[in-house]
Structure 1
Amino acid sequence: MLKLLAHRLVGRFGRRYGYDVTYMDEMIEEDFAGFRRFAKLAGLSSYSYGLPPGPLFAAKFIATPAAGCGPCVDLVIRMAEEAGASRAALAAIARRGGPADPDMRLAADFAEAVVTNGADLPELLEAVEARFGRRGRTGLAVAIATAQFYPMVKRGMGHARDCAMLPPEFRPARAA
């Protein structure tokens, strides 16, 4: 009975966002207790730590493709739009050189530095804390980590697909 409910809830999520939830359905069947623990992460990954949607989703948007799953990035885009973040603003973040909201750019640069362990991470940590406070810094760190969690699980289960499936406006500009 609980498994059936879980399948229905997962299916509803998939239909809402146009997202393939096959890997979650497999988890439900393979180890329901494990899936229940997996599902608890949704509460953490959707918690904003008081951050506005723009910076929060900018960080998630940068962190997710680093984990290598185009459909997961598309999911982040859809969730960002639903939360009130602009699709155009996220596209500007994706192109890396285009004009973008300064708070979103800071969050995106921070996410990039965290994901790559960039040399500018110490300065970005200070800038993020100065702009968003310690709570916001923690929120961005959690957003970055949870944005990579789902694609990693999906890939490990053999369900990840290539990021080339992103809409053109979200593909980084190529160097000439």
Structure 2
Amino acid sequence: MIRYFLKMGMRKFAKRYSYDTSYMSHVVETSAEAGVRLSLLPLFTQFQGPKAARNVWAGAMLGSTQEGDCGPCVQLIVDMALEAAVPKDQLALCLQGDAVAAGDVGLGFRFAQAAIANVHELEELRAEIDRRFGPAAVTAASFAAASGRIYPVLKRGLGFGQTCSSVKASHETIQVLPRA
């Protein structure tokens, strides 16, 4: 019975975002317990912090996800960000390698990539987010930096990984700068 509800939720998600959920189905078929745990991940990954810092959170999700994958998972994050009214041009600048010019989205993007790489710039970016948006925004950006990689890594581990591709944002194609 639990598999039925999990698959119903997956179909709804797939339809809403035009997203291939075959890896999710695989998890559910393999283990209902694993499917339940997968369905609970958004409780962690979708903590967005204060509304004023939503673009920072979206940028951090994008930066972390792109670091893990530059294909369908990035497209999903872009679609979700656009749905949340995150500026398309700032998303595009991040994907094209110019996060410095991408405003608050770029701030989150750079924060996530600095957290992942554990570079000195992280302290400066964390301080800026905290100063401008408060500690809850730092927490949200940190959650995003840690969690954006979960799905791409899980998909690759299960054999459902994808290669780099372009991303669409409101009918505009953006060539994604592949990760190094």
Q: TM-score, normalised by structure 2?
A: 0.87
Q: Determine helix, strand or coil for the equivalent of 2:95.
A: helix
Q: TM-score, normalised by structure 1?
A: 0.89
Q: Determine helix, strand or coil for the equivalent of 2:162.
A: coil
Taking a change above 3 Å as real, the CA distance of residues 87 and 114 of structure 1, as seen in their structure-2 partners, is: same
Q: How does 1:6-155 map to 2 (within 5 A)?
A: 6-51=6-51, 52-97=53-98, 100-155=101-156
**CA distance in 1 between partners of 2:54 and 2:2 (Å):** 33
Query: What are the ranges of 5 or more consecutive residues in structure 2 without an aligned counterpart?
Result: none
Tell me how large the CA RMSD over aligned residues is.
2.0
Identity %: 28
Query: What are the ranges of 5 or more consecutive residues in structure 1 without an aligned counterpart?
Result: none
> Is the Cα–Cα contact under 8 Å of residues 65 and 163 in structure 1 kept in the other structure?
no
Amino acid at match of 1:78: D
Query: In the comparison of the two structures, how many residue pairs are matched?
Result: 173
**CA distance in 2 between partners of 1:161 and 1:37 (Å):** 23
Aligned match of 1:171: 176
**CA distance in 2 between partners of 1:166 and 1:82 (Å):** 15
**CA distance in 2 between partners of 1:106 and 1:2 (Å):** 40
> Is the Cα–Cα contact under 8 Å of residues 50 and 136 in structure 1 kept in the other structure?
yes
Q: Determine helix, strand or coil for the equivalent of 1:171.
A: coil
Amino acid at match of 1:17: Y
Q: Deviations over 1:16-68 (max 9, x none)?
A: 11111011101111110121112111122122111433211111111101112
